[in-house]
Homo-oligomer: A and B are copies of this chain.
Amino acid sequence: METRNTIQKQTILQAVKELANHPTAEQVYEKVVVKLPNISRATVYRNLSNMADRGLLQRIGVPGGADHYDHTLQVHYHVLCTHCGALEDIWLEKPAKNLMELANEKSTFSIQSYQLVFNGVCPCCEAKQRKENPIQ
């Protein structure tokens, strides 16, 4: 039950912190494999998942795509660029409590959490779009 302090775990956690920008398991693997050439993807997946369950990381579930991981533990939200897949933070104060309360009032389920991802277009992709199709 207690957790052993392996080099793999340390390196994975460090990688998420250094990458900062909500890496996927694959991106973490690519960063970690430089330092530990023999590490397996399974180890990366296992550890990221464990750490998220223990609250050392936040898991960002993206419907239809790979999970991302966030070293920031404070409650906040994310936008996904529908063009390039970039994922960015959004800091909102209000919805956190409201949503849970509202939902619990209206549902027979006892609601414990929720997953919210916004979809949009990042400034970079918006600029490209405008260049290709200046009308509209």
Tell yes or no: A13 within 8 A of B by CB: no
Chain A residues within 8 Å of chain B by Cβ, number: 38
Tell yes or no: A18 within 8 A of B by CB: no
Closest CB in chain B relative to A26 CB, distance in Å: 15
| B94 A102 Cβ-Cβ under 8 A | yes
Interface residues of A in 74-111 (CB under 8 A from B): 77, 79, 81-82, 88, 90-92, 94-95, 98-99, 102-103, 106-111
In the assembled complex, the Cα of A116 lies from the Cα of B103 at a distance in Å of 11
| B98 A95 Cβ-Cβ under 8 A | yes
Interface residues of A in 56-83 (CB under 8 A from B): 61-64, 67, 77, 79, 81-82
| A109 B88 Cβ-Cβ under 8 A | yes
| B95 A107 Cβ-Cβ under 8 A | no
| A109 B118 Cβ-Cβ under 8 A | yes
| B109 A79 Cβ-Cβ under 8 A | yes
